[in-house]
Amino acid sequence: MFSNRTALPFAVLFVTLSSARIIHASELKAHTAQAFQHYVELTEARMLTEIATPGQFLYIDTLPEEERNRDIERIKAGQVYIRQMTTKEGDKKIEIHDGLAHHWLAIGFLPKAHLAGAIRIAQDYDHHADYFAPDIQRSHLVSQDGEHFHAYFRLYRHTIVTVTYNTEFEAEYTLSSPTQAYCFSKATRIAEVHNPGDKNEHEYPVGNDHGFLWRLNLYTRYVEVDDGLFIQVEFLSLSRTVPALFAWFVNPYLRSIPRDYLTDYIRRFGKAVNHLSEERLPATSAPAQPQP
């Protein structure tokens, strides 16, 4: 017989394998997409208020002074500030039936970095697969109109199961002051790939796949200070829920994925800004005119 201590890993393994098997194709329902869009609109309204309010450009700027100073000290020492976020309508939770919102915020600090260099890396879509592998397997700029960018990414993630996506994003950059900029980046197409790399590779119908990633928005803010650059990334995505029998195990794990992704992203972004030579960077620049 197995002892309780021995049996626990087998139970976890069973749940993991069973979860992967029972998560068959799932269709994104119209009411789920509409509820998530409502969540996005309220979230973006809060963001724009923060950006427009002097002294509140970063999330930590809204904290009590003692807490803010303590967090800045930790961030400048190399820690990535991570916080799970929730948007409410007044005091009311926004219900997203048949879907699960993943909403996280991360802040890092890049010593001696400058705003112009960070923007150049962010807009260097042809090399994002180099900077952020293995999460990004392929990337290229599709088109550019001023500070509006259309880019393609081949995304890869290994969690409970391994998934690959062909995605397209629209990104809009705004310089709000000579030392502050922000970018709203939203996936306009997310197609899960079946049998990636095989000769019979093909896409599932958009919105009718395993449901691990139906929507993905990334909101980034950059603040240059005397000794470096703060970068804040807010991650907002939508996935399906899992059957109630397995939700206790799978949902917390799915919620942890953005936390790990954001921590790794900020560290890789800092490495790209600090170590890649200027000769390799494209001739892009921060937006020319500050916005009121």
The encoded tokens of residue 63 equal: 């904290």
* Residue-averaged pLDDT of the chain: 86
pLDDT at 89 over 50: yes
Residue 292 domain-assigned? no
**Which pLDDT score, from 0 to 100, does residue 259 have?**
80
**Which pLDDT score, from 0 to 100, does residue 261 have?**
86
Residue 285 domain-assigned? no
Average pLDDT over every residue of 253-280? 77
**Which pLDDT score, from 0 to 100, does residue 113 have?**
94
**Which pLDDT score, from 0 to 100, does residue 161 have?**
73
Nearest-angstrom CA–CA distance, 77 and 187: 33
pLDDT at 31 over 60: yes
**Which pLDDT score, from 0 to 100, does residue 12 have?**
42
**Which pLDDT score, from 0 to 100, does residue 10 have?**
41
Task: With both helix axes pointing from N to C terminus, report the angle between 4-22 and 244-275 in degrees, rounded to the nearest 10.
Answer: 80
Looking only at the bridges linking them, the beta strands covering 202-203 and 100-111 are: unpaired
Nearest-angstrom CA–CA distance, 135 and 132: 6
CATH of the domain at 11: 3.30.530.20
pLDDT at 288 over 90: no
**Which pLDDT score, from 0 to 100, does residue 162 have?**
84
Domain that holds residue 32: 4-280
Residue 205 domain-assigned? yes
What distance separates the 2 farthest-apart alpha carbons in the chain?
A: 71
Q: Between 19 and 48, name the one with better pLDDT.
A: 48
Residue 201 domain-assigned? yes
Those residues whose C-beta lies under 8 Å from the C-beta of residue 155, and which sit 6 or more positions away, are 135, 136, 137, 164, 165, 167, 213
Residue 218 domain-assigned? yes
**Which pLDDT score, from 0 to 100, does residue 243 have?**
65
Q: What is the pLDDT of residues 96-154, one digit of tens each?
A: 999 999 999 999 999 999 999 999 999 999 999 999 999 999 999 999 999 999 999 99
**Which pLDDT score, from 0 to 100, does residue 24 have?**
66
Helices (H), 82-217: 115-122, 128-131
The tally of domains found in the chain comes to 1
Residue 244 domain-assigned? yes
Average pLDDT over every residue of 22-29? 76
pLDDT at 157 over 70: yes
Average pLDDT over every residue of 73-82? 96
**Which pLDDT score, from 0 to 100, does residue 278 have?**
47
Residue 291 domain-assigned? no
Residue 288 domain-assigned? no
